[in-house]
Structure 1
Amino acid sequence: MALLVQYTLIFASVLVLVALGGCFSEHSGVINIGLEGIMVMGALGGALMLNFLPPETSAFMVVLLTVLAAVALGAVYSLLLAVAAVSFGADQTIVGTAMNLLGTAAATVFVKAMNTSINPNNVSSTIQYIAAKKAFLVKLGGFEFNWFMLLAAVALACSYVLLYKTRFGLRLMACGEHPQAADSVGINVYKMRYAGVLISGILGGLGGIVYITAGVSEWKFENGVAGFGFLSLAVMIFGQWRPSRIALAALLFGLFRALSNVYTGFDFLMALNLPSSVYNMLPYIISLVVLAFTSGKSRAPKAEGIPYDKGQR
């Protein structure tokens, strides 16, 4: 049971971070379908940092530098969406889809090239971070606490305050609801949308490194992030673009994802005699079922996905 709780919390942490990123982007008026690609890039930045840090680096510095590397690469990659969608008015869905395809492909090519340059016989797309990963973990009895769990909780609280209790958050949401009205009172819609997309890049990149370090000590980048970016979008929609509801949705989806890791420890689940692939599919099946019954009542920001035209009223 402790292992189930542990995996549920770590997978929920990933979903919370990435879904909150999508929430900020969509509240600004930009649909971020590219969260999957952003997660891969954040995972790449964090994994490279973990791989190349000297063994004598303190645990605090390992955590800090890894987080900075992940959020930096995630934010830089999200600029592709910001420039294309905000500055040039490109179709946001197409740009996001292209980012997803490019992210996994670019990371795979880069890692293979790096491994080959170090060892010509190594053509894999795998990065190892066995020793450095220990910096994120703290043993609490039979429970293994991961510092990323705390980081996700802090991000959740900060997101709620930022969106609903600050001038920045209220302006951001105004740009996603009625950008022309926001512009008429002096709010720079373009800057706010850039800010929303960049925040999604920061949180999405962080979610990427949390995901790949959740249960393994190396990652094969040609596997991407197994659809967690899309699962996070489902969490965001089910959570109605509200941080508090997103947290509850993330726990639900995180529980079903955790079952695929620990179902062998439960006799009643083993008695069902289901193949392991069924448990791996559970979170995605649940997401389809949940969205089928709830998406009709969803209330997305009114201007999301619509390029802003300053001359339109």
Structure 2
Amino acid sequence: MTATLETPQTRQPEPEIEAAPSWRMPIGLGVVGLIAFIIFGLGTPGGTSTTFVVSRTQDAIQIPSWTLPAQPFAILFTICSLLLAGVSAWGVATRRKLGTWLPILYGLAVIAAVLVWAGAGKSSTSIQVTGLLIGALVLATPLVFGALAGVVCERSGIVNIAIEGQLLAGAFMAALVAGAATSMTGSATVGAYAGLIAAPVAGAFLGVLLSLFAVRYWVDQIVVGVVLNVLAVGLTNFFYGTVMKTNPDLNRAIGLPDLPIPLLSDIPVVGPVLFDQNLLVYLMYGLVIVLNVMLFKSRWGLRVRAVGEHPKAADTVGIKVNRTRVRNTILGGALAGLGGAFFTVASGLAFNKEMTGGKGYIALAAMILGRWSPKGALAAAVLFGFADSLREQFGIIGTSIPSQFLAMLPYLATIFAVAGLVGHVRPPAAENIPYKK
């Protein structure tokens, strides 16, 4: 009996095991589309119309308004959403990757149907398209900073649940320093910029505490994050009552001035939305670009991702694992603190207790939906910001939706997006695992 030697040329390849296709997304899209067809398509009263106003009165170039027959267009948009759900089912059945264009088109179709339904028969009001988009970008700003903080921390292996507390601390510090600087200099603009500079310091302080307990003492990172959120609420409430209430000059409604970019701000729709904002929004643009390049195109980013995926291997090639995690956690805290300035100096509001309203947790959802990528986090944050802006638009035009449900809209959008669109995403492998030499 002779034995045969198996060589690489004669070895038979092992059959690949394909994962079972997931029908969660097609089913979710189909159910939502059917509900939208019944409520917004068939529920739109016949014989009414909806007016969409694109340009504002102060825009350099005016675009005519659109008036659409409400019921036919509402039905058309909801049918389009059902067809897209069918395309999604076809993609799963044939194992084809259809890309992100499908959920984007689906979302636009459903939103268009909702807007047509909401504005039907409202002769005294109209849907302000540019205002809706401006609100979406502005309301997404703190979510983007919070999501970027989560990306920077979790890419290095530290779970940052404390984003909510870092946003709140940044909002408080920005208001406090802005009020003090305004009192000393007599200039509200100087005070606003001083508050913008001070906000990251408060967030970085919570980042130091998070890194201390997570890296030095190996405490569970999720538990530490929750505790830091409670600590931030307690400290800001205490100093609000003892410092700001007794010294009203330290808590003024001071806002950053808008900085329109010449020529670009005059472009219809796009100009007012993107290029007629304050400094914090422009900083958001730059940070998303810089972090996306640094994380995926630089040596620093490679080391950070190596620490988050395989810290032992990173250590063997000379990368200081714990030092990298500490630095990234402090940097992430500073980013979230900078985003907290949106609630006070960037919005022209005085500080109030717990004014962040859970935006830090929505930022975490944006980070997950964006798959731990800066540009993905930006897209997800804009989606949630649009839901918040839609709530405000509904409140202006007046709808039959109860106000309590409108207040829930951003959070419901977060739940549905994460549950229906995330799929099987994998966080960094070493996340929430202390590195012990």
Alignment of 1:25 onto 2:160: no
Alignment of 1:291 onto 2:421: no
The structural deviation recorded for 1:85 is: 0.1
- Secondary structure, aligned partner of 1:191: helix
1-structure distance, mates of 2:417, 2:245: 44
- 1:162 matched residue in structure 2: 294
Distance 1:89 1:137, change over 3 A: same
2-structure distance, mates of 1:259, 1:51: 32
Kept after mapping to 1: 8 A contact 2:307/2:314: yes
- 1:56 matched residue in structure 2: 186
Alignment of 1:240-251 (within 5 A): 240-251=371-382
Question: Normalization by structure 1: what TM-score?
Answer: 0.88
1-structure distance, mates of 2:222, 2:250: 31
The structural deviation recorded for 1:41 is: 0.7
List runs of 5+ in structure 2 lacking aligned partners.
1-127
Deviations 1:76-125 (A, max 9, x none): 12111000001111000100000111101110101111135448xxxxxx
The match for 2:213 among 74, 77, 84 is 84
The structural deviation recorded for 1:67 is: 2.1
Kept after mapping to 1: 8 A contact 2:137/2:385: yes
Give the AA of the match of 2:180: F
- 1:8 matched residue in structure 2: 136
- 2:89 matched residue in structure 1: none
The structural deviation recorded for 1:51 is: 1.3
The structural deviation recorded for 1:38 is: 0.8
Alignment of 1:232 onto 2:367: no
The structural deviation recorded for 1:215 is: 4.5
The match for 1:100 among 217, 225, 229 is 229
The structural deviation recorded for 1:261 is: 2.3
Deviations 1:128-173 (A, max 9, x none): 332x31x333476895622221111011011112211221111011
2-structure distance, mates of 1:128, 1:262: 29
The runs of at least 4 consecutive aligned structure 1 residues that moved more than 4 Å come to 138-144, 213-216
- Secondary structure, aligned partner of 1:297: coil
Distance 1:253 1:230, change over 3 A: same
Kept after mapping to 2: 8 A contact 1:10/1:146: no
Kept after mapping to 1: 8 A contact 2:180/2:250: no
Give the AA of the match of 2:412: I
The structural deviation recorded for 1:127 is: 6.3
The match for 1:129 among 252, 261, 268 is 252
Alignment of 1:69 onto 2:192: no
Kept after mapping to 2: 8 A contact 1:40/1:104: yes
What percentage of aligned pairs have identical amino acids?
32
- Secondary structure, aligned partner of 2:351: strand
- 2:320 matched residue in structure 1: 188
1-structure distance, mates of 2:245, 2:395: 38
Give the AA of the match of 1:36: E
- 1:255 matched residue in structure 2: 386
List runs of 5+ in structure 1 lacking aligned partners.
120-125
1-structure distance, mates of 2:258, 2:192: 10
Root mean square deviation, CA, Å: 2.2
Give the AA of the match of 1:87: R
Which of the pair is proportionally richer in helix?
1
Of the structure 1 ranges 273-282 and 93-102, higher mean CA displacement relative to structure 2 is found in 273-282
- 2:401 matched residue in structure 1: 274
Alignment of 1:40 onto 2:163: no
- 1:150 matched residue in structure 2: 282
Kept after mapping to 2: 8 A contact 1:127/1:219: no
Question: Normalization by structure 2: what TM-score?
Answer: 0.64
Kept after mapping to 2: 8 A contact 1:11/1:211: no
2-structure distance, mates of 1:127, 1:100: 23
Deviations 1:37-72 (A, max 9, x none): 11111111111112112353373x445422220011
Distance 1:62 1:214, change over 3 A: closer
Distance 1:63 1:154, change over 3 A: farther
- Structure exhibiting the larger radius of gyration computed from Cα positions: 2
Alignment of 1:203 onto 2:335: yes
Give the AA of the match of 1:76: F
2-structure distance, mates of 1:177, 1:75: 24
